[in-house]
Structure 1
Amino acid sequence: MNVEKVTRFSPDGPDDAALVEWPAMDAANLESDVPVQRGHFYLNDESLGLMAGVWDCTPFTSIMRPYPVDEFMHLLEGSLTIEQEGGTATTVSAGDTFAIPKGLVCRWVQTEHVRKFFMISSNTDGETHDNPAQFGVMCPKATDPVTPIVITDTSLILGAVPEQHRHAYYTDKTGQFSVGIWHSEPFERPVYEFDHYDLMYIVKGVATVSDGAGDDQVFKAGEAVFVPKGAPYKWKNDEFVTKIFCAFTPKKTAQVSNAAE
Structure 2
Amino acid sequence: MRKTARPWDFCTTSAANASVPGLIAIDRSAALSPSAPPPAQFVAGETPLCHNVKVFEDSKATFRAGVWSTTPHTRLSRPHPVHELMYILEGRAEVTDCDGTKLEIGPGDAIFVAHGTVNQLALKDPLKKIFVIAEN
Structures share a fold, TM > 0.5?
A: yes
* Corresponding residue number in structure 2 for 1:80: 93
Q: Could you report, residue by residue, the CA deviation over 1:200-227 in whole angstroms, capped at 9, with x for unpaired residues?
A: xxxxxxxxxxxxxxxxxxxxxxxxxxxx
Q: RCO higher in 1 or 2 (8 Å CA, sep ≥ 6)?
A: 2
Q: Is the 8 A contact 2:38 2:75 kept in 1?
A: no
Pairwise CA distance, 1:24: 3.0
Distance, in Å, in 2 between the alignment partners of 1:3 and 1:97 is: 26
Pairwise CA distance, 1:69: 0.8
Q: Is the 8 A contact 1:67 1:106 kept in 2?
A: yes
Tell me the secondary structure at the aligned position of residue 28 of structure 1. Answer: helix
* Corresponding residue number in structure 1 for 2:27: 10
Is 1:91 aligned with 2:108?
no
Distance, in Å, in 1 between the alignment partners of 2:23 and 2:59 is: 20
The equivalent position to 2:77 in structure 1, one of 64, 81, 104, is 64
Q: Could you report, residue by residue, the CA deviation over 1:42-85 in whole angstroms, capped at 9, with x for unpaired residues?
A: 11222211110011111111111111111001110011011111
Pairwise CA distance, 1:3: 4.5
Q: Could you report, residue by residue, the CA deviation over 1:168-219 in whole angstroms, capped at 9, with x for unpaired residues?
A: xxxxxxxxxxxxxxxxxxxxxxxxxxxxxxxxxxxxxxxxxxxxxxxxxxxx
Matches within 5 A, 1:188-207: none
Q: Could you report, residue by residue, the CA deviation over 1:82-130 in whole angstroms, capped at 9, with x for unpaired residues?
A: 111121001111011111111111101102111111100111xxxxxxx
Q: Is the 8 A contact 1:36 1:58 kept in 2?
A: yes
Matches within 5 A, 1:1-261: 1-13=18-30, 18-123=31-136
Distance, in Å, in 1 between the alignment partners of 2:33 and 2:20 is: 18
Distance, in Å, in 2 between the alignment partners of 1:24 and 1:101 is: 20
Amino acid at match of 1:24: P
Q: Is the 8 A contact 2:96 2:103 kept in 1?
A: yes
Matched residue pairs, number? 119
Q: Could you report, residue by residue, the CA deviation over 1:132-180 in whole angstroms, capped at 9, with x for unpaired residues?
A: xxxxxxxxxxxxxxxxxxxxxxxxxxxxxxxxxxxxxxxxxxxxxxxxx
Larger of the two Rg values belongs to structure: 1
Q: Is the 8 A contact 1:3 1:42 kept in 2?
A: no
TM-score by length of 1: 0.44
Q: Is the 8 A contact 2:44 2:74 kept in 1?
A: yes
* Corresponding residue number in structure 1 for 2:10: none
TM-score by length of 2: 0.81
Distance, in Å, in 2 between the alignment partners of 1:55 and 1:104 is: 20
Amino acid at match of 1:7: I
